[in-house]
Structure 1
C-alpha cells in the first residue's frame, strides 16, 4: 500500500547527523519498536514526510534533510539568562543539563544549560539538532488507512490501530 495522507505509517530508521564532515549516529527505530505516525497530521517534519510520499510497504529509503528543512539553523540569539532566584531551594543545574521550561503562553520547551554566571544561569534554547543536517535511512514496515478513532484524535494508536498501555 502506498503512503498517502490519513494513512498510518510504521517504519524503521537510523538517524545520523553531520558533524564537521563526519556522520554521527543519533538514534534508531527498530522493527520491534518502529516509529508509527499518522501521515499528513503535522506530527513529523514536513520535509521528512515529503521524502516518504512515493513509498510503499517494504520500500527502503535513504535521504538527507538540510538544517533549514529539519530543526532550523542555529540561532545565536536563542539564549536566555535565567535569574538564579528561579532555582532557590533547588539544586543549581549543572552545565550541559536539560531544563524543562515554560513561556508566558504556557508552551513547554527545553533549554540546555551552557554556563552559570554570578547571578544567572545561561540556557541555550535551540533545538539540540538545530544547525545540523539529518540523514535518515530505513524501511517502510507497514502502511494502512487510519481508523475513525485515530482520525478524530489526530495521531496513530500503534502499528495495528489499538492503544497499548
Structure 2
C-alpha cells in the first residue's frame, strides 16, 4: 500500500539542520513513531510531497528549503510590547516573563501565535514571533514503518482533535507548541498583540 490521500502513515525519522550530518533537532525512533493521516493538511505540503507514493519499509532522505518549511526569518516579526499586557490581576507574571520563554499570545483580531521573550526592560518586552525553525532548511532521514487505511473515526475526528496519533510532542528540544516534524503551521504574523494566554495552542501537527 502506498502513501496517498487519507492513508495513515507511520514514520520514524531524524531531523537535522545545517545539512544531513548537521545539528540534530529531533529524533523519533520506532517506539515513538509519528502517525498521521496523509493529505489532510496536518503536515507541511513539502513534507507530504516528499513522502507521497512511498510504501511500508521504504527509507527516505530529503531536504525541505526554508521557503517551503517555516519561511525565512522576518525581522518585522520581532516586536516590542508594553510590559503591562503581562499583568495578571494587576501583578506581573514573572513565571512566564523570562528571556527564552515561549508565550502563547493573541492579537486584536483573536488570532493565536507564540512568541519568544528576547529582552525585558522596565516598560517593554521584546518578543520574537517567528517560528523557531524560521530561516532553516530541514533535512529528514527516516523510514516508513507502516501504511494503512484510515478508519471512519480517524477521518471524522471530534472538533478538538489534531489528527496526529503519535502522542509525541514534537518539541524540537524546546518548550513550544509551534508543531514539529513538518507539522503544518508556518505563520509568523507580526500583528500587534493585545494579550497573553495561560495555555499553549496547536501542537502535534495542528495547523492552528
Q: Is the 8 A contact 1:8 1:156 kept in 2?
A: no
Query: Aligned partners of 1:156, 1:123: CA distance in 2, in Å?
Result: 29
Q: Is the 8 A contact 2:9 2:37 kept in 1?
A: yes
Root-mean-square deviation (Å): 2.1
Q: Which residue is equivalent to 1:134?
A: 138
Query: Aligned partners of 2:9, 2:142: CA distance in 1, in Å?
Result: 13
Q: Which has the higher strand share?
A: 1
Deviation at 1:157, TM superposition (A): 4.7
TM superposition score normalised by structure 2: 0.71
3-state SS, counterpart of residue 56 of structure 2:
coil
Structure 2: gaps of 5 or more residues: 167-208
Shift of the 60–124 alpha-carbon distance from structure 1 to 2, 3 Å rule, reads same
Task: Tell me how many residue pairs correspond in the alignment.
Answer: 158
TM superposition score normalised by structure 1: 0.88
Q: Is the 8 A contact 1:6 1:146 kept in 2?
A: yes
- What pairs up with 1:56-135 in 2 under 5 angstroms? 56-88=55-87, 89=91, 90-91=93-94, 93-135=97-139
Structure 1: gaps of 5 or more residues: 159-165
3-state SS, counterpart of residue 113 of structure 1:
strand
Q: Is the 8 A contact 2:70 2:133 kept in 1?
A: yes
Query: Aligned partners of 2:72, 2:21: CA distance in 1, in Å?
Result: 18
